[in-house]
């Protein structure tokens, strides 16, 4: 069982009691101001519609954290009447297994067949029974009444099957409002349910919330078919084993690669559980015609074999990382192999991806896809041209970028300035009202859920401490708490053993003198004064300020 977000209502603000009837509100519990953790709530007359409930990425600032989840204040303060999962990427569905106690039993969850197959398997794997909620399949553009809302879905191309955008219509105190929430999208792709005529029919809209991920790039995002043509040419002229790493959710690409291998008579296999999970979900949702067990993998040593490898972002235990680091027991890269990096590097992951690619190159592997001279990847996010095309279809009065950080939002403002439309930049952890323009109502306490093995917590102090220890090392101080006398010191990861042996006596003496100097201070201030004074001595003496851990001994503290 994965750790669960507590449903304890203590300290949770009851927002429905504070929000005026007849007014349409929205709030972001993630996905705005930084990438990941996509979670949006629309609220009217006691009815809350959630759009996506994703997890976010750990980074170098948060060592030891697995992921983060949306703001607990919004999760509990605006409980869902219904949930719409626009697609199956982790940053849109990844929080759900941790919300068993938060989302009421029987809550309807609307999702495509592919997303439903993916998330129900994910829930089972993590010890949560999917039957506690009511999954409703969205198989084509549909309209559903949810309390005060009329909700419409619009299937859109993306980099994962069966992605849809969400439209909302509702009567408010100042007339009927129409809102379009794009989620992730691009305009060129093979999504057979995508109907431009349905988008145009929904126009004009009062508010367009639009994916800003591609706002730094001119033109339109290319169709996946261009990538497939390029990959097929590469495979045709490349002998020996080929390893291709890509996003496991790129089902269209993976399906095309399997077809290419079959046409060329080359055996193909999958390395990585996530690839297999995505394929099985695609088979359940009729996106591929063959179950996984019919794809017979060849021996790893087979010449001219093709291997699809999961984990293209270089996560620590991913198949891609283990393969390139030479710690995958059954398969080793060797000179003469080819590695195709058929993906993009998510910001923050570049260092570990380049480390993996360098290790492959050092082993004599030919690496393709990093220089950009061969098209081996297409994004699932629309560029500026896609965004402008969507605006032309929906004719919004107001546009608000989502799914991005300040860099992307400001780029959005720059390229959209020549379009006759009002643009508003909003922030996460705030509640807004949709009136003639978006109006800030109140801030929401930021209780972003931070997930570690075995627990979920809400404070970032632990990561500041871990970074401090990683950069400066640890000073252990053993003292008698009542007399505040130091009996021993030790240093871990601060200096070499030789240097420590040279300075140990001096360091102990200084710690003892410092303790004696502050022993008469108020108990509440004594430890802080001790740490501050000893820290200054460390900086002057050894040029570092290690994390000081006090260990009480000789009496109960």
Q: Is 359 a domain residue?
A: yes
CATH (domain of 489): 3.10.20.580
Whether residue 247 sits in one domain with residue 276: yes
CATH assignment of the domain containing 166 = 3.60.15.10
In this structure, the answer to whether residues 328 and 353 fall within a common structural domain is yes
For the segment 532-548, the average pLDDT, to the nearest whole number, is 97
Segment 474-480 shows an average pLDDT of 96
Q: Distance between CA atoms of 428 and 34, rounded to whole angstroms?
A: 9
Residues 230 and 215 in one domain: no
DSSP H/E element including 308: strand 306-309
**Does residue 465 belong to any structural domain of this protein?**
no
In a domain, 466, yes or no: no
Is 122 a domain residue?
yes
In a domain, 248, yes or no: yes
Q: Within this chain, do residues 271 and 176 fall inside the same structural domain, yes or no? A: no
What 3-state DSSP class applies to 323? helix
Q: Say yes or no: 81 and 147 in one domain.
A: yes
Same domain? 38 vs 179:
yes
Number of domains in the chain: 3
Q: How far apart are CA 444 and CA 379, in angstroms?
A: 33
* In contact, 100 and 504? CB cutoff 8 Å: no
Tens digit of pLDDT for each residue in 25-71? 999 999 998 889 999 999 999 999 999 999 998 888 899 999 999 99
Whether the pLDDT of residue 533 is over 60: the answer is yes
Which tens digit of pLDDT belongs to each residue from 337-395?
Answer: 999 999 999 877 899 999 999 999 999 999 999 877 789 999 999 999 999 999 999 99
Same domain, yes or no, for 485 and 517? yes
Q: What is the pLDDT of residue 391?
A: 98
Residue 350 is predicted with a pLDDT of: 92
- Tokens at residue 254, please? 């993976």
Q: Are residues 35 and 184 in the same domain?
A: yes
As a whole number, the mean pLDDT across the chain is: 95
Question: Angle at which helices 224-237 and 251-264 pack, to 10 degrees?
Answer: 30
Q: How far apart are CA 54 and CA 59, in angstroms?
A: 16
pLDDT at 294: 81
Question: What value does the mean pLDDT take over residues 500-507?
Answer: 95
- Burial of 534 from C-beta contacts in 10 A (0-12 / 13-18 / 19+): buried
Q: What is the pLDDT of residues 191-216, one digit of tens each?
A: 999 999 999 999 999 999 999 999 99
Q: Residue 3: what pLDDT?
A: 96
Q: Residue 542 sits in which domain range?
A: 473-552
The answer on 442 and 547 residing in a single domain is no
For residues 156 and 64, membership in a common domain is answered with yes
Q: What is the mean pLDDT of residues 182-190?
A: 95
Average pLDDT over residues 216-240: 95
343 closest CA partner among 320, 363, 326: 320
Condensed to tens digits (0 to 9), the pLDDT of residues 416-466 reads: 988 989 999 999 999 999 999 999 999 999 999 999 999 999 988 899 999
Domain end call among 345, 368, 391: 368
Same domain, 259 and 310: yes
Quickly state the pLDDT bin for 295 (edges 50, 70, 90). Answer: confident
User: Which pLDDT belongs to residue 557?
Assistant: 42
CA distance 390 to 160: 19
Question: Average of pLDDT values for 181-199?
Answer: 96
Residues 249 and 274 reside in one and the same domain: yes
Residue 393 contacts residue 203 (beta carbons within 8 Å): yes
The verdict on residue 35 lying in a domain is yes
CATH assignment at residue 307? 3.40.50.10710
Strand order in the sheet with 474-480: 485-492, 474-480, 547-552
The answer to whether residue 332 is domain-embedded is: yes
Domain final residue pick, 318, 337, 368: 368
Residues 6+ apart with CB under 8 A from 309: 243, 244, 245, 271, 272, 275, 319, 320, 323
The answer to whether residue 12 sits within a structural domain is: no
- Mean pLDDT value across residues 114-126: 97
């Amino acid at each position: 069982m994965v750790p669960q977000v507590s449903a304890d209502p203590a300290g949770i603000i009851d927002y429905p009691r504070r929000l005026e009837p007849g007014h349409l509100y929205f709030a972001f519990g993630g996905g705005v101001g930084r990438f990941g953790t996509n979670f949006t709530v629309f609220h009217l007359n006691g009815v809350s519609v959630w759009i996506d409930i994703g997890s976010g990425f750990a980074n170098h600032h948060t060592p030891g954290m697995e992921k983060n989840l949306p703001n607990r204040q919004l999760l509990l303060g605006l409980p869902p009447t219904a949930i719409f999962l626009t697609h199956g990427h982790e940053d849109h569905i990844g929080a759900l297994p941790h919300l068993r106690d938060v989302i009421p039993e029987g809550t309807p969850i609307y999702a495509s067949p592919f997303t439903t197959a993916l998330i129900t398997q994910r829930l089972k794997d993590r010890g949560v029974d999917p039957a506690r909620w009511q999954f409703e399949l969205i198989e084509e553009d549909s309209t559903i009444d949810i309390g005060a809302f009329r909700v419409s879905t619009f299937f859109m191309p993306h980099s994962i099957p069966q992605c849809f955008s969400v439209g909302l219509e509702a009567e408010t105190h100042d007339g009927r409002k129409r809102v379009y929430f794009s989620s992730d999208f691009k305009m060129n792709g093979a999504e057979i349910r995508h109907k431009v005529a349905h988008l145009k029919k929904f126009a004009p809209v009062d508010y367009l919330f639009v994916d800003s991920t591609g706002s730094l790039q001119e033109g339109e995002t290319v169709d996946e078919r261009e990538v497939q043509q390029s990959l097929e040419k590469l495979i045709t002229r490349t002998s020996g084993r080929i390893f291709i790493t890509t996003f496991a959710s790129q089902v269209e690409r993976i399906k095309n690669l399997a077809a290419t291998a079959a046409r060329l008579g080359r055996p193909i296999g999958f390395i990585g559980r996530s690839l297999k999970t995505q394929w099985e979900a695609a088979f359940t949702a009729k996106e591929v015609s063959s179950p996984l067990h019919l794809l017979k993998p060849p021996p790893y040593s087979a010449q001219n074999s093709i291997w699809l490898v999961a984990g293209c972002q270089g996560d620590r235990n991913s198949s891609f990382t283990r393969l390139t680091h030479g710690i995958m027991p059954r398969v080793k890269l060797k000179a003469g192999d080819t590695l195709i990096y058929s993906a993009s590097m998510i910001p923050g992951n570049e260092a570990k991806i380049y480390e993996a690619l360098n290790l492959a190159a050092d082993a004599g592997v030919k690496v393709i896809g990093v220089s950009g001279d061969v098209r081996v990847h297409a994004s699932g996010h629309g560029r500026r041209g896609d965004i402008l095309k969507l605006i032309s279809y929906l004719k919004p009065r107001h546009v608000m970028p989502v799914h991005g950080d300040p860099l992307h939002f400001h780029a959005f403002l720059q390229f959209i300035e020549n379009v006759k439309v009002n643009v508003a930049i909003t922030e996460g952890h705030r509640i807004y009202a949709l009136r003639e323009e978006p109006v800030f109502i109140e801030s929401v306490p930021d209780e972003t859920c931070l997930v570690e093995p075995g627990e979920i917590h809400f404070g970032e102090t632990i990561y500041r401490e871990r970074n401090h220890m990683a950069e400066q090392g640890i000073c252990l101080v053993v003292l008698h708490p009542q007399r505040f006398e130091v009996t021993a010191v030790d240093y871990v990861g601060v200096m070499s053993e030789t240097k420590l042996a040279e300075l140990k006596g001096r360091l102990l003496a200084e710690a003892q003198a410092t303790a004696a100097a502050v022993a008469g201070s108020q108990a509440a201030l004594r430890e802080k004064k001790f740490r501050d004074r000893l820290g200054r001595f460390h900086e002057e003496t050894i040029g570092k300020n290690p994390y000081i851990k006090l260990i009480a001994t000789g009496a109960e503290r």
